[in-house]
Chain A
Amino acid sequence: ILNVEQSPQSLHVQEGDSTNFTCSFPSSNFYALHWYRWETAKSPEALFVMTLNGDEKKKGRISATLNTKEGYSYLYIKGSQPEDSATYLCAPTLTGGGNKLTFGTGTQLKVEL
């Protein structure tokens, strides 16, 4: 079973704060790293897929970076808003194991007014 770790497990911030989370994954046999946003009572929604070492992706106030050599990715949210409250999941795809994802347990973000 692949070990995918996310930290912190949960986070409470104030509106307007910037925040970041970490995803750690095995660096061997890396193919791609996915980030998903999961609001309560909804389905997970894809944010980014990154494949190259040093890759950076941005979507509005959310951005992500990737280090495939050391096996980690950071997700940043700039100027958090209450609508950013959700669980953020990361999941690597590795070569040799089929086109499948192994999800971390997520970072639960709560943005308060």
Chain B
Amino acid sequence: DAGITQSPRHKVTETGTPVTLRCHQTENHRYMYWYRQDPGHGLRLIHYSYGVKDTDKGEVSDGYSVSRSKTEDFLLTLESATSSQTSVYFCAISLGAGWGQPQHFGDGTRLSIL
């Protein structure tokens, strides 16, 4: 087990509130990723990180910010949640230091925005 923990696992919140999701890993992997899963779209990359304080945007980054102040934690923040951000969010790590390594996924966070 690559030791990824996502928290919370489920959350219901209201439109306009800020929400932070946490991804924690225990094995010092360099690359970490946040995806969202939506019907008809599969998995889409929101943001990713290639080291402490090093992050970059993915395909669907609008309305999201990330931070990585420690190797083990990658935080995803919805600054002002909207109903279109209702989704299942997956964190992943890249197994290995180089490019093209397989990714290992957390169990997901189901987020509902009312």
Which residues does A use to contact B, with CB under 8 Å?
A: 1, 31-32, 34, 43-46, 49, 51, 89, 93, 98-106
Contacts and interface: CB of A to CB of B under 8 A. Distances in A.
Contacts of A106: 42
A49 B43 contact: no
Contacts, number: 57
A28 B42 CA distance: 23
Contacts of A89: 42-43
6 contacts: A98-B48, A99-B99, A100-B33, A100-B58, A101-B45, A103-B42
A44 B105 contact: yes
Contact of B105 (A32, A43, A102): A43
Contacts of B45: 100-102
A31 B100 contact: yes
Interface in B21-78: 31, 33, 35, 40-45, 48, 50, 56, 58-59
A99 B42 contact: no
Given A34-B102, A46-B102, A105 B33 contact: no
B31 A99 contact: yes
A104 B90 contact: no
Contacts of A32: 99-100
B5 interface: no
